[in-house]
Amino acid sequence: MSDDKQGTGIDRRGALECMIWAGTGVIWTLTGGVPNSSLLPGMGAAQAAEKAAAGFSFLQISDSHVGFNKPANPDALGTLKEAIDKANGLPVKPAFMIHTGDITHLSKPGQFDDAEKVIAEAKLDVHYVPGEHDLIDENNGQAYLERDGKNTKGTGWFAFDQGGVHFVGLVNVANLKAGGMGSLGDAQLAWLAADLKGKPASTPIVVFAHIPLWAVYPEWGWG
């Protein structure tokens, strides 16, 4: 992976630093199966009430990197707490939370434990998919699976239904090589085909993973 700007106006390191210190999340509202998003602290009370009456909302956070302590964000745990505090201030409580990976920075047990304590303050059901930083322990992701990947398949993929919507959490960071693109693998694709088989075409489906499932910026491994 290169730190070159590649004509974007920002280099990879700068982009990652922005992601790390942002301390925010996204609130998604599904109305008639159509998702709409806003950054935390998000919509006002009147708008939230209107959207809640028409559908339901869920919270997404990502890349908390608990354990990171470099100048870009010397207190990653505090940044995560800031995001959770914003979530707790929402005028309408989300139905649940998804965390789309890089919960920790180095997959250490204490980092997972610290993240779990802060995330629990939201008092929401949480669905996790791992980022590559969650799978680098000496047992190839066992620390993640034992804590946040219970009752999942393979390296942590799963599906669930809520509010008439089918949610699918995929793992595309297992065996990720530096500078490489994310991949799903044959076993996960076979599971996904079986999971979706028989679903009516009218069923809204939300798919989430750590790395985008399409090419966003291959030079940085985003896709």
- pLDDT tens per residue, range 8-65: 454 544 544 444 444 558 888 877 777 787 777 655 555 655 655 557 899 999 999 9
Exposed / middle / buried, residue 131 (Cβ in 10 Å: 0-12, 13-18, 19+) = buried
Selection from 174, 176, 181, 169 nearest residue 205 by Cα: 169
| Lookup: tokens for 8 | 């974007």
Q: Residue 169: what pLDDT?
A: 98
Selection from 154, 152, 164 nearest residue 126 by Cα: 152
Q: 52, 92 in Cβ contact below 8 A?
A: yes
12-220: CATH class: alpha beta
Residues forming beta bridges with residue 153, ordered by sequence position: 157
Give 178 or 147, the one with higher predicted confidence: 147
Lookup result for tokens 């590649």: 6
Give 34 or 92, the one with higher predicted confidence: 92
Q: Indicate the Cα dihedral angle 212, 214, 216, 218, nearest 10°.
A: 100
Predicted TM-score of the model (pTM): 0.82
